[in-house]
């Protein structure tokens, strides 16, 4: 591996000092299938050169609106683009060359990941920082400094202050301003070096458990510098912060759930289900006539929280069946609480990124005829994982996230690799060209015996609702444009083009035009979004939270999927 790293480093160093031949007749071809894709050693440098030239052309194209000006300016700006294209990679390779221990760790991680992926696509290796990051994603609170850092492409990859992460910070003056340049970062008088790290690696490093206090020297746009010391403290995970809203003149309740987070410190601790119950209760007090639970882009989390959350909407009974490697018979998970916290009309909004615990909850609502499932087919993950140390005596060696079982709907059926099909299917506005090639066989999840004594509700009778939704969707300008844009994106993504500045510039303009055209469609407010009274009172005392809340409401008000969900609930009530 060291020899391969040195070879790539030597190539990049030569590329940095030697201008490539931009007149060579070459093409860029997109591959639909990466499973059998490999590059012979004797072709590596040719492929690397093409990749870098494409990156340089794209970077240059991003700075201009007119092709003639882009062509005219390229000779004088080419060397700067070339430096930016390779410097970061050279930096990372030199770090590895000078730190053989890191190479050893990467080899070990690759080996363990290969073993895991040979079993199923959800078994993988975690470094300590990756494990900590994974756990924070499914936690309500985390120890945090309340900021993120990122490298700014427009400032020659200088480190800048990114988003202010937490609504738990009451005084904005405690922190530097967003987009201030970070001059230095110190922890316990040791200056940290982030030159060769990616944005995710930078934030994992500063937020690792080892860092308890950091001192930032930042510089604002006027050149003024200031030093700020920030102590790590327990703050809410902003992505898991639950808040209900009142839509469409306060007639419809809305609750977005980004993950099924839980209290990892206590097996019976309170998490997402408890917080959601509190928000739903507030919405009910506003006399809502329907409720939207938005699970789009929710990759899952705690199955316990999903089971508890499902119990808020049904009287009592089985909600899922689990089958693990350490038990002889499948176990039926039940909601033992009589009565439902909310029994009114319900829409569950999903897409192809709704997975795992999201799908468990969706299945319960579907099986009990409790709500209308709206959106696109879900991801299709019904396997369960645990995180275990590779070596219990040495945590630094990392962890394995291992698949140990699977869960099923109450009829003993698995949706693994298939997903859950909604009752009302809407156009999929997510990127269809993004794909993750699978190098493993689908994980087999055979069906199990159904639960007994299932007290499901009568069928909802959705024929008229589905018919009305289909008509609205076909006549909806945003959805029509979305379908057209998706077809164009697919064509563009699989389109071959010449590796010249002129051809790349035109390709770049086509992509940005499509994105811009679709973004404009999302700017107009489609319905009203209001806070309930308790939120209004809380926001009086937190300026950062006020700004964050207004951004959420603005985005929500122009969401065509939520608008269609409102229409469905209105039809349901009528």
- 3-class SS letters over 303-323: HHHHHHHHCCCCCCEEEEEEE
* pLDDT for res 441: 52
pLDDT digits (tens, 9 = 90+) for 397-448: 889 999 999 999 999 999 999 999 999 999 887 655 444 444 455 566 777 8
Instruction: Report in angstroms the alpha-carbon separations of 361 from 69, 276, 292, 488.
Output: 54, 13, 14, 34
Whole-model pTM: value is 0.85
Question: How far is Cα 365 from Cα 369, in angstroms, rounded to an integer?
Answer: 6
Distant-in-sequence, close-in-space partners of 9: CB < 8 Å, separation ≥ 6 = 90, 93, 94, 97
Asked if 10 and 3 touch (Cβ cutoff 8 Å), the reply is no
391 phi, psi to nearest 5 deg = -135, 110
- Contacts of 426-429 with CB under 8 Å at 24 or more apart are 426/374, 426/375, 426/376, 426/469, 426/473, 426/479, 426/561, 426/564, 427/376, 427/473, 427/479, 427/482, 427/483, 427/486, 428/351, 428/352, 428/376, 428/486, 429/482, 429/486, 429/561
pLDDT digits (tens, 9 = 90+) for 21-37: 998 888 887 665 544 45
Report the percentage of the chain scoring pLDDT > 70. Answer: 91
pLDDT digits (tens, 9 = 90+) for 79-114: 999 998 898 788 888 888 888 888 888 888 889 988
Please give the sequence-ordered ranges of beta strands (E in DSSP) within 383-473, or none if there are none. 383-389, 399-408, 424-425
What angle do helix axes 2-17 and 44-61 make, rounded to 10 degrees? 50
HSE-up (13 A, CA, CB side) for residue 350: 33
| DSSP assigned state of 77 | H
* pLDDT for res 468: 95
In the chain, the domains with their CATH numbers are: 2-98 (no CATH), 141-236 (2.30.42.10), 238-573 (3.90.226.10)
Give pLDDT < 70 ranges for the chain.
30-38, 153-157, 164-175, 189-190, 195, 209, 267, 430-444, 518-522
Question: How far is Cα 390 from Cα 21, in angstroms, rounded to an integer?
Answer: 48
Question: How far is Cα 188 from Cα 212, in angstroms, rounded to an integer?
Answer: 9
Closest to 133 (Cα-Cα) out of 266, 258, 237: 237
Question: Which residue is listed with tokens 């007290």?
Answer: 455
């Amino acid at each position: 591996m060291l020899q391969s790293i040195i070879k790539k480093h030597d190539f990049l160093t030569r590329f940095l000092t030697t201008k490539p031949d931009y007149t060579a007749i070459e093409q860029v071809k997109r591959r639909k299938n990466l499973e059998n894709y490999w590059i012979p050693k004797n072709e590596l440098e040719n492929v690397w050169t093409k990749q870098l030239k494409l990156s340089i052309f794209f970077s240059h194209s991003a700075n201009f609106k007119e092709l003639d000006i882009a062509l005219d300016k390229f000779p004088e700006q080419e060397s700067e683009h070339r430096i930016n294209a390779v410097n970061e990679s050279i930096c990372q390779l030199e770090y590895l060359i000078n730190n053989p221990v890191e190479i050893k760790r990467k080899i070990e991680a690759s080996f363990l990941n290969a073993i895991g992926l040979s079993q199923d696509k959800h078994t993988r290796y975690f470094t300590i920082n990756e494990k900590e990051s994974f756990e924070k994603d499914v936690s309500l609170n985390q120890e945090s400094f309340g900021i993120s850092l990122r490298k700014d492409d427009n400032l020659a990859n200088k480190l800048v202050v990114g988003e202010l992460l937490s609504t738990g910070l009451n005084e904005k003056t405690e922190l530097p301003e967003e987009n201030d340049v970070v001059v230095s970062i110190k922890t316990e008088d040791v200056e940290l070096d982030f030159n060769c790290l990616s944005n995710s690696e930078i934030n994992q490093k500063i937020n690792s458990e080892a860092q308890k206090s950091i001192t930032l020297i930042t510089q604002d746009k006027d050149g003024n510098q200031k030093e700020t010391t920030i102590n790590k403290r327990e703050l809410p995970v902003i992505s898991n912060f639950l808040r209900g809203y009142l839509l469409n003149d306060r007639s419809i309740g809305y609750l977005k759930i980004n993950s099924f987070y839980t209290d990892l410190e206590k097996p019976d601790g309170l998490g997402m289900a408890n917080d959601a119950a509190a928000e739903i209760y507030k919405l009910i007090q506003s006399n809502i006539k329907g409720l939207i639970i938005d699970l789009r882009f929710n990759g899952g989390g705690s199955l316990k929280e999903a089971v508890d959350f499902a119990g808020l909407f049904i009287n009592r009974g089985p909600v899922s069946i689990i089958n693990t490697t350490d038990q002889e018979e499948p176990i039926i998970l039940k909601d033992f609480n009589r009565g439902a916290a909310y029994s009114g009309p319900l829409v569950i909004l999903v897409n192809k990124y709704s997975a795992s615990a999201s799908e468990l909850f969706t299945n319960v609502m579907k099986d009990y005829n409790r709500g209308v499932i709206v959106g696109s087919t879900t991801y299709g993950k019904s396997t369960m994982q645990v995180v275990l140390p590779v070596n219990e005596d040495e945590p630094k060696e990392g962890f394995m996230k291992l698949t140990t079982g699977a869960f099923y709907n109450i009829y003993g059926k698995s949706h693994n690799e298939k997903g859950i099909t909604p009752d009302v299917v809407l156009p999929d506005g997510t990127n269809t060209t993004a794909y993750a090639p699978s190098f493993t066989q689908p994980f087999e999840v055979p069906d199990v015996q159904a639960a007994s004594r299932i007290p499901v509700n009568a069928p909802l009778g959705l024929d008229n609702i589905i018919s009305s939704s289909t008509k609205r969707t076909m006549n909806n300008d945003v959805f029509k444009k979305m379908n057209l844009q998706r077809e164009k994106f697919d064509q563009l993504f699989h389109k071959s083009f010449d590796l010249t500045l002129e051809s790349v510039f035109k390709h770049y303009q086509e992509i940005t035009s499509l994105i811009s055209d679709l973004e404009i469609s999302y700017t107009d407010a489609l319905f009203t979004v209001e806070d309930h009274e308790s939120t209004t009172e809380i926001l009086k005392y937190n300026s950062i939270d006020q700004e964050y809340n207004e951004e959420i409401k603005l985005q929500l008000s122009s969401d065509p999927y939520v608008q269609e969900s409102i229409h469905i609930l209105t039809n349901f009530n009528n």
